[in-house]
Structures are given as structure tokens and as C-alpha cells.
Amino acid sequence: MQHSLKIGTRGSPLALWQAHMVRDALLAAHSHLSPRSIEIVTVKTTGDKILDRPLAEIGGKGLFTKELEDGLYSGALDCAVHSTKDMPTHLPDGLAIDCFIKREDPRDALIAANGGCLMDLPQGAVVGSASLRRQAQLLALRPDLKVISFRGNVGTRLKKLAAGAADATLLAYAGMKRLGVAEKATDILSTDQMLPAPAQGAVCVECRADDPRIADLLAPLNDAPTAQAVTAERAFLAALEGNCRTPIAALATISGSRLTLVGKVLSLDGAACFEERREGTVLEAAAIGHAAGMTVRQKAGEDFLKAIALEQMG
């Protein structure tokens, strides 16, 4: 039979888990859909193909989305499931994010080969991470540590750690929970220790903007508090024109109708940090994020932001 809905995803175990989660949610929300009517289509993205170079070196945001978006444009896909933190802040013309699935725990987790928490790591320990945000905040807390680049999916990074490539690594706790390996975390870092990436732990579904059929199917899956928090965080990121080349962190929390955003930008070595906290109503999410981002931009100064970009390029 012809599939009535084609869901695009990257082929990593975590990406596939997320795509199946969306499929199961669609089946639960719509009785007319059946498992046979939904096809999950795996797509290899540029970020999946190039594993021997840091993300910052090969282009940053968009590395894990472009090929999926090409599938939406061509009609080969009806929608695409993404880790929202991989999404550029400005979507291509004609595409839209139609829903945000309820967010998982946004914190970062430390996995130490010999157990223990971050502050238990021995002097000069080697920590593997491909994220400039994690590297900067790690060095701010423990400047004695040696940070090396660690690319690959969750399983790959855990294998590298087990093989002795580093003393510890850092991963999004959400991904570990989704893949059933949360017990391998030896320390769940508080957001005071390490502020997450904007939209970390949130899954979104991208579609063609002119496709009301898909929008209607996805509407029951949207989680409003997640959408509001992520909107604020992505507005903060956009105001700073941030990408994988910049150590930027942001987290919005919601209590009732109130939203609180904390965002920061750091130097690559973690020695300098510019932070802003803003509050308002959930209806002001985008404005709160933008205002916080512009304030941090002013605090840091254009020379600071340019210096980070130049250091990466050099």
C-alpha cells in the first residue's frame, strides 16, 4: 500500500528513537492512521558523513538538517523530526516547525570512566566533547582539565570513553534517557554548573508551511510550555547570531504564565562570561529571548564575538 505519511529522520539510534516517538504519538492521536500508513525514511546528512572534523570547522548549524529539508521541498518527505538544538534559528523559505514534543530533561550529564562527579576528576584529566558550549563551561569550572574533541553519536562516544580515549565525556542527559543508558551518567550537572544549549532536550517536527493536512495531524502533539520555552531560547540565540562556532547557552523555565530565561555567552576557554536573566509572560517568549540576547551582545561587545569566530577559523 502507499504510505499516507512519510517521516524523515537522520539514521542515528537517537534520531530513529525520536522519529518512532513521533510516529507513536500520531497513531495515538489519530484513529484513522495505522502503523502501515506511516513510513519512517532515514536520510544521511552532511553532519553524519563528516565525523573527523569539529562541527565548528565544517559549518555549524544546518549540518544535520539540510538534506532532510531538501526532502520536504521535493515532496519525498511529509515532515522531518529534528533535535531542535540542531536547527538553525532562521528556517528556509516555505518551511515551518509545526510542533514541539514535550521536552525531556535539558541538563548535561558527565560520564566518568572511573565514576564520580565533575569535581572528583583528577587534576589534568582528559574530557572529550565536541561542543564549544560544554568545553567553555567545563573549563570555567575546572581550568586544569584537558578538553579534546569527541564527535559521534551517543553510542560512539561511550565506546570511545570505554576504549580509554578520555577520562570522561559529556552528553545531553535527555538523549541518554531516551536510549536507555541514563544509568551510565556519573554526574547530572546542575544548570548552575552548566547551562544547556538552547532547545536542548526538545524534539520538533518540521514541515512545508503550505501543507495544512500535516499541520492538522501534528497539532495534537504540540506541547505549549515546550514551544514557549524553546521560542525564548532560540530568540536569544538568534539575537547573538549564534551557531556551533559560539559557546552560547540558554534555558527558559515556566511557572504558570511566567517565563524566566537565563542566557550566556562565554570565551572558548571559559575565562570570560556574559550573562543575562529576563522574566515576563509566556506570551512574550520571543521578545524576552531577543531582549536578553541583545543585552548580552552589548555586554560582551562586537569585538568579543568576532574574536571567538576568528579563533575558530584560525
- Report if residue 195 sits inside a domain: no
User: Which residues constitute the domain of residue 235?
Assistant: 223-314
Beta-carbon count within 10 A of 98 CB: 21
147 and 94 assigned to the same domain: no
Beta-carbon count within 10 A of 306 CB: 10
What per-residue confidence (pLDDT) applies to 2?
53
88 and 26 assigned to the same domain: yes
pLDDT, tens digit, for every residue of 57-83? Answer: 555 557 789 999 999 999 999 999 999
How far, in Å, CA of 277 to CA of 263, rounded?
Answer: 7
218 and 157 assigned to the same domain: no
pLDDT, tens digit, for every residue of 115-155? Answer: 999 999 999 999 999 899 999 999 999 999 999 998 788 99
76 and 2 assigned to the same domain: yes
pLDDT, tens digit, for every residue of 21-53? Answer: 999 999 999 999 999 999 999 998 776 666 556
Give the model's confidence band at 1: pLDDT under 50 very low, under 70 low, under 90 confident, else very high: very low
pLDDT, tens digit, for every residue of 4-19? Answer: 899 999 999 999 999 9
DSSP class of residue 51?
Answer: -
208 and 81 assigned to the same domain: yes
- Report if residue 298 sits inside a domain: yes
- Report if residue 287 sits inside a domain: yes
180 and 211 assigned to the same domain: no
Among this protein's residues, is 86 annotated catalytic? Answer: yes
How far, in Å, CA of 136 to CA of 247, rounded?
Answer: 7
* Helix 224-239 / helix 285-300 crossing angle, nearest 10 deg: 30
How far, in Å, CA of 104 to CA of 174, rounded?
Answer: 5
DSSP class of residue 78?
Answer: S
pLDDT, tens digit, for every residue of 94-107? Answer: 999 999 999 999 99
pTM (predicted TM-score) = 0.92
Burial (Cβ within 10 Å: 0-12, 13-18, ≥19) of residue 64:
buried
In the chain, the number of structural domains is 3
138 and 254 assigned to the same domain: no
pLDDT, tens digit, for every residue of 271-288? Answer: 999 999 999 999 999 999
CATH number at residue 161: 3.40.190.10
Of the residues 24, 48, 70, 86, only one is catalytic, namely: 86
How far, in Å, CA of 110 to CA of 311, rounded?
Answer: 27
Hey, what amino acid is at 113?
A
Nearest to 155 by CA among 7, 9, 11, 8: 11
